[in-house]
Amino acid sequence: MQMEYSEKYDYRFAEKNQVVYIVNVPGFLTAGWSVVSRLLSRNTVEKTIILSEADTYEGLLKWLDHDNIPKRYGGGMGGEGEEDCRFTSADEIKLRKFVMEQGDNRERQKRSV
């Protein structure tokens, strides 16, 4: 049943996530991942990266620039709290601007119809 759900999710949302990081994972939970991962599709497992506290910064650095990694994980972005760094990434700012522009374009299209 779980595998069937996972396969349907992958089929419908295959490109939603390029990679999923689970960070600061205690050692005993990595053993749990080996059990849980058997219930998931291979594609989902390959996109999921489990990082221990010691490996979090180096693992994130493979995908992100130092300035886009929150300070609490050893990077240079924002403050210590999640709220301090959530919206300060240059990539996040560009993405929010793009999304807002798309929303504005849709509103203009609706009004012109």
**How many other C-beta atoms can be found within 10 angstroms of the C-beta atom of residue 20?**
11
* Residue 7 · residue 41 · CB < 8 Å: yes
3-state secondary structure of 22: strand
pLDDT at position 1, please? 46
- The pTM score is 0.54
| pLDDT tens, position by position, 65-92 | 898 888 888 888 775 555 555 556 677 7
pLDDT at position 58, please? 94
Confidence band of 101 (pLDDT split at 50, 70, 90) = confident
When the pLDDT of each residue in the chain is averaged and rounded to a whole number, the result is 77
| Residues 6 or more apart whose Cβ sits within 8 Å of residue 40 | 2, 3, 6, 48
- Determine the average pLDDT of the residues in 41-55: 86
Domain residue limits, the chain: 2-63
Q: What whole-number distance in Å separates Cα of residue 48 and Cα of residue 18?
A: 9
DSSP H helices, 13-89, are 27-36, 42-47, 56-61, 82-85
Q: Half-sphere exposure (CA, 13 Å, Cβ side) for 29?
A: 10
CA 16 to chain centre: 10
